[in-house]
Structure 1
Amino acid sequence: MPTASSPSDPVVVVAAALYDDGGRLLAARRSAPPDLAGRWELPGGKVEPGESPEHALARELREELGIAAVPVDRVPGEWPLKPGYVLQVWRSRVLSGTPRPLQDHDELRWLTPDEIWSVDWLDQDVPAVKEVLGRETS
């Protein structure tokens, strides 16, 4: 259910921890904006006014990756991004489609737990990825 927000509330950015059947995590390499290009992130985007985080995540994954996905559960915590923005991460499941980079990304990689740190994650995604990994191994 959407909640009302005040002008001082941070903009919520939602991201998906998407896993395949082999337990690999999906990472997306940014192609834009220029200051983020070439760095890796968990895919997702901004929650629009009046939109629930779960709905926003499903919409963003459809727009950015061309898949139908559903959030399964929220990873505990929130991580600050740039001023006025906060990141929330959801474990999510692909319902249909094969992820492909459609917007803001030029490459996707399914990473095994041993490969997670083989990509140059955006600084703000590092603590979220660590939390996701901690949940998967507990």
Structure 2
Amino acid sequence: MMLVVAAALTNHEGQVLVQQRPLDTTLAGLWEFPGGKVEPGEQPEAALVRELWEELAIEVDPAALTALTFASVPLADRHLLLLLYLCGEWRGVPQPLAATGLAWHHPSALRKIAMPPADIPFIAVLEAALKAR
């Protein structure tokens, strides 16, 4: 089992931040929600705070993370459990430290960009969550 956390960072215009995977990685060139693997003994929220600092150079208070949904996906050699959190507050300006680029999109526009299969079901959940705000 591979436990991975990701954030749907939202701005005041109702857009969500996605990052493009580097060309030298699995699923290269696809757009994804920032985040990464949970290390052994690490709480998911702490892992996401760490990953957002490492990938985007932003500081996030764990209290600003709201668990939104998850995806459970079988892979060739293991199983992926991907937890998605909603976050609308952070300190700093996101920078693509571990990605080819960053882009802000309204949730419905995410359907038009290439994303990893595990991220695609998150789009409808994000549309509903941001509409309810």
TM-score, with structure 1 as normaliser: 0.82
User: Among 98, 102, 105, which residue is 1:108 paired with?
Assistant: 102
Q: Which residue of 2 aligns with 1:131?
A: 125
User: Among 19, 22, 29, which residue is 2:20 paired with?
Assistant: 29
Aligned equivalents of 2:83, 2:30: Cα separation in 1: 19
Contact 2:45 2:65 in 1 (8 A): no
Letter in 2 for 1:45: G
Structure 1 range deviating more: 15-24 or 113-122: 113-122
Unaligned residue ranges in structure 2 (runs of 5+): none
Q: Which residue of 2 aligns with 1:48?
A: 39
Q: Which residue of 2 aligns with 1:121?
A: 115
Instruction: Confirm or deny that 1:91 pairs with 2:86.
Output: yes
Aligned equivalents of 1:135, 1:99: Cα separation in 2: 22
Contact 2:107 2:126 in 1 (8 A): no
Contact 2:65 2:85 in 1 (8 A): yes
Aligned equivalents of 1:88, 1:19: Cα separation in 2: 16
Residue deviations 1:13-61, cap 9 Å, x none? 0000100121110011101544411111111001111110000000000
User: Among 66, 76, 79, which residue is 2:72 paired with?
Assistant: 79
Taking the TM superposition and a 5 Å limit, the aligned residue runs for 1:60-79 are 60-70=51-61, 71-79=64-72
Offset at 1:116? 2.2
Instruction: Confirm or deny that 1:13 pairs with 2:4.
Output: yes
Unaligned residue ranges in structure 1 (runs of 5+): 1-9
Tell me: CA distance 1:102–1:121, structure 2 relative to 1, closer, same or farther (3 Å). Answer: same
* Number of positions where the alignment pairs a residue of Structure 1 with one of Structure 2: 128
Instruction: Confirm or deny that 1:38 pairs with 2:29.
Output: yes
Tell me: CA distance 1:63–1:24, structure 2 relative to 1, closer, same or farther (3 Å). Answer: same
Aligned equivalents of 2:47, 2:70: Cα separation in 1: 18
- Alpha-carbon RMSD across the aligned residues, in angstroms, is 1.8
Q: Which residue of 2 aligns with 1:3?
A: none
